[in-house]
Amino acid sequence: MVMQIPAPQREQPDASTPGMSVLAGGCFWCTEAVYLALEGVTRVVSGYTGGAQETANYRAVCSGTSGHAEAVQIHFDPARLSFGRLLQVFFAVAHDPTQRNRQGNDVGTQYRSAIFAVNAAQQQMANDYIAELNATGLFGQAIVTEVSLLENFYPAEGYHQDYARRNPDQPYICAVALPKVEKLRHTFPQYFHAKES
């Protein structure tokens, strides 16, 4: 049975906030696949954030010592998709926000749950929503998602972009990413948008 996660009390931070968000929820291949299938998303870029530019590469990030998280930069049309809906999908579908510095078998600070807000309004809304979700007790334990202001985002190497769509038969994609896309289709059918391959 799919757990129903309530939407945040507010849909948008404020009128001046751009239609862009940076979220980290484990392997970016999986998070990217979920958001590419969400109606209103115009572009998703896999990348790194939280560390220095010189360590913004896959090898360094995989070491777990770079300070970076694998993250996705999501561009969306606020007229068609709210920041609140983006967050609801993040907590309900994209990852498990109660796992600290891991997602399933992927272990390390690079797989941490984090929201990198583009401004103070987004940051406040994310913190408020986490408090709302914790108050429901739906997750059975506290949400460990970190919320901070975005400093820098470094796009990942080209072969990581749109990875799940380009590699649908890769075992990790079949085992982890595609079930999340199906969960999105089942949980939020009204917001699911299958992109053409």
Q: Which residues contact 62 (CB under 8 A, 6 or more apart)?
A: 108, 110
Give the span between the Cα atoms of 81 and 9, in whole angstroms.
Answer: 15
CB atoms closer than 10 angstroms to residue 79: 8
Give the span between the Cα atoms of 30 and 1, in whole angstroms.
Answer: 21
Give the span between the Cα atoms of 84 and 58, in whole angstroms.
Answer: 30
φ/ψ of 185, rounded to 5, equals -60, -40
Task: Label residues 156-179 b or e (16+ Cβ within 10 Å = b).
Answer: beeebbbbbbeeeeeebbeebbbe
Residue with tokens 């926000």: 97
Give the span between the Cα atoms of 124 and 187, in whole angstroms.
Answer: 26
Active site residues: 27
